[in-house]
Chain A
């Protein structure tokens, strides 16, 4: 038993476990037992019961997602599993830890997911800049092949699986699962209309599950130690552990595996060592660049999907970005708006035209040319680019830090306009 199922093998001061070391640490045991004792429907029931939620940002229950894959006699025989390893959410560096720290854990999780939905081909969609992860994954896939853990009739189970590594070339929108599927098919990565959902008609029109790296890395533990153990890991309403990171002006920035339900204060003060000397905490984005600002008064909330949701933000990727009192909040949000504007795929009008306008206003505020009506225009965009108005979640995600910054840091926006300059640049 372990309290740290995701990171128990990870020590970044040495090379990750090769397949021999990984198996010595009971790696792939869960998969071997699964092939022997469990039908795909048994695994599905177990993952549903575990309460595992997707760790890529949306927090959708994994077992429920899988259950939409058609499994009747007359369903399409070809199905695909796709790993979303296109980590590019601003301030997010958690999947890198898993990919570089324990690549076999991901492969084992993929075997479990692919067996459950009966997919015989799996693609890892890896961001092109993760060169070290690419090297390590290629080696791990080759080792798994050599030991008969990939390929035809794995360990006499009658189940076949090939894992193919696809490296992308840098576009944030590829993290959106239908855009990712278009990119894998060799098209521009614009999102697709839903329905149909990928579970029914995804990659090349076949039933497809897209899961985040961290989500899949939860599966070996669940199969090995069981549902009760997994639920018991969480301290609050959510099951399991979560990789949580902190970046910004803290003493010890980094990424750690914590029980869900751990207070945010413990992450910030104990793990990340608190604020650097001379810096005060003004606020933080709890789960990457697409989440709403929370304030110092929220530090005693727990890292739970529902708790953070009720406070008006999202746990999302679990990687916290800290705003200190010596960083301009308008500049910080402006930086995010430039990112989202640049990374809009241009497919739908509100996002394509709205985000550059927002970006333009922030450039004006920063350079001292801000006008009183600019804040009104920004506020209007919160609605125009909000949920339900766009093709995918990119623009609504961008509006999260913007809307919350306008609420919490309004006086900083006003100061830019009234003084005709950024007060932090004087």
Chain B
């Protein structure tokens, strides 16, 4: 679903959801740091995403209304940035560096291994909602390539064995119901 569905007259009208007290509290703090409300747009989207996992149309509308800006303009920002998710993602988002140093150090083979193990390609989420795999521009860790960022942890000097160990440990910590 895109923002165009929000304005299409034939589509069911999307209602803004109510932002949680925690979300408005954090957005209000950001508003004290900038002289202009719409400057907080990206930070507000990140706050909502932190609490909701992604930015739904309902969330986008809520933030736009809260900041007094058009939903179109805010969606223009949301869709510009790689790390704002406009569709649901898995519990563990793998931000896999596919830039040049990682390429030289063989990241394609590691990526193929992840894809084979999880049955997902870039941009896809496993059926159990556990993982989403995304390419990310150079993670700035090139002396320890190949690298990937997952759940706030940077994983370095990746090998197939390290991927296997990582998947196993996630499985033990977050068993699927």
Q: How far is the CB of B142 from chain A (nearest CB, A)?
A: 4
- Residue of A87, A169, A188, A248 near B46 (CB, 8 A) is A169
Q: Are A91 and B142 in contact (CB under 8 A)?
A: yes
Q: How far is the CB of B106 from chain A (nearest CB, A)?
A: 9
- In chain B, positions 22-52 with a C-beta closer than 8 Å to chain A are 33-36, 38-43, 45-46
Q: Are A170 and B142 in contact (CB under 8 A)?
A: no
Q: Are B82 and A93 in contact (CB under 8 A)?
A: no
Is B129 interfacial (CB-CB < 8 Å)? no
Closest to B149 in A: A129
- Residue of B43, B103, B139 near A166 (CB, 8 A) is B43
- Residue of A93, A128, A166 near B141 (CB, 8 A) is A93
Interface mask (A167-178 → B, CB under 8 Å = 1, otherwise 0): 111111000000
Chain B residues with CB under 8 A of A189: 80
Q: Are B140 and A169 in contact (CB under 8 A)?
A: no
- Residue of B34, B35, B43, B138 near A89 (CB, 8 A) is B138
- Residue of B34, B81, B98, B99 near A91 (CB, 8 A) is B99
- In chain A, positions 328-371 with a C-beta closer than 8 Å to chain B are 331-332, 335-336, 339, 342-343, 345
- Residue of B34, B80, B100, B154 near A171 (CB, 8 A) is B80
Is B137 interfacial (CB-CB < 8 Å)? yes
Is B143 interfacial (CB-CB < 8 Å)? yes
- Residue of A88, A186, A247, A342 near B41 (CB, 8 A) is A186
Bound-complex Cα distance A109 to B83 (A)? 30
Is B71 interfacial (CB-CB < 8 Å)? no
- Residue of A132, A187, A188, A327 near B104 (CB, 8 A) is A327
Given contacts A186-B41, A249-B104, contact A335 B98 (CB under 8 A): yes
Chain A residues with CB under 8 A of B45: 169
- Residue of B46, B77, B152 near A131 (CB, 8 A) is B152
Q: Are A90 and B42 in contact (CB under 8 A)?
A: no
Q: Are A188 and B76 in contact (CB under 8 A)?
A: yes
Bound-complex Cα distance A164 to B40 (A)? 13
Q: Are B142 and A339 in contact (CB under 8 A)?
A: no
Q: Are A248 and B95 in contact (CB under 8 A)?
A: no
- Residue of A129, A183, A247, A254 near B101 (CB, 8 A) is A247
Is B145 interfacial (CB-CB < 8 Å)? yes
How many of B's residues come within 8 Å of A, CB to CB?
Answer: 40
Interface mask (B86-125 → A, CB under 8 Å = 1, otherwise 0): 0000000001001111011100000000000000000000
Question: Taking chain B's interface residues, is the majority helix, strand, or loop, or is none over half, making it mixed?
Answer: mixed
Bound-complex Cα distance A130 to B145 (A)? 16
Q: How far is the CB of B28 from chain A (nearest CB, A)?
A: 15
Chain A residues with CB under 8 A of B80: 171, 188-189, 345
Bound-complex Cα distance A248 to B38 (A)? 42
- Residue of B43, B84, B142, B149 near A92 (CB, 8 A) is B142
Chain A residues with CB under 8 A of B82: 169-171
Q: Are B100 and A335 in contact (CB under 8 A)?
A: yes
Chain A residues with CB under 8 A of B84: 169
Q: Are A245 and B143 in contact (CB under 8 A)?
A: yes
Bound-complex Cα distance A323 to B101 (A)? 9
Closest to B100 in A: A90
Chain B residues with CB under 8 A of A171: 80-82
Is B144 interfacial (CB-CB < 8 Å)? yes
Bound-complex Cα distance A321 to B95 (A)? 22
Bound-complex Cα distance A186 to B87 (A)? 21
Closest to B78 in A: A169
- In chain A, positions 89-108 with a C-beta closer than 8 Å to chain B are 89-93, 95-96
Q: Are B101 and A169 in contact (CB under 8 A)?
A: no
Closest to A335 in B: B103
Is A319 interfacial (CB-CB < 8 Å)? yes
Chain B residues with CB under 8 A of A128: 46, 83
Chain A residues with CB under 8 A of B33: 164
A-B contact pairs, 15 of them (CB 8 A): A90-B99, A129-B149, A169-B81, A169-B83, A169-B84, A185-B36, A186-B39, A187-B38, A188-B80, A247-B101, A249-B104, A249-B105, A319-B142, A321-B104, A335-B103
The 3 closest A-B pairs by CB, nearest first: A247-B142, A170-B82, A169-B81
Contacts beyond the supplied A92-B140, A324-B104: 16 A-B pairs with Cβ under 8 Å: A88-B138, A91-B101, A166-B43, A169-B83, A170-B136, A171-B82, A189-B80, A204-B36, A245-B143, A253-B143, A254-B143, A321-B100, A321-B142, A331-B103, A335-B98, A343-B137
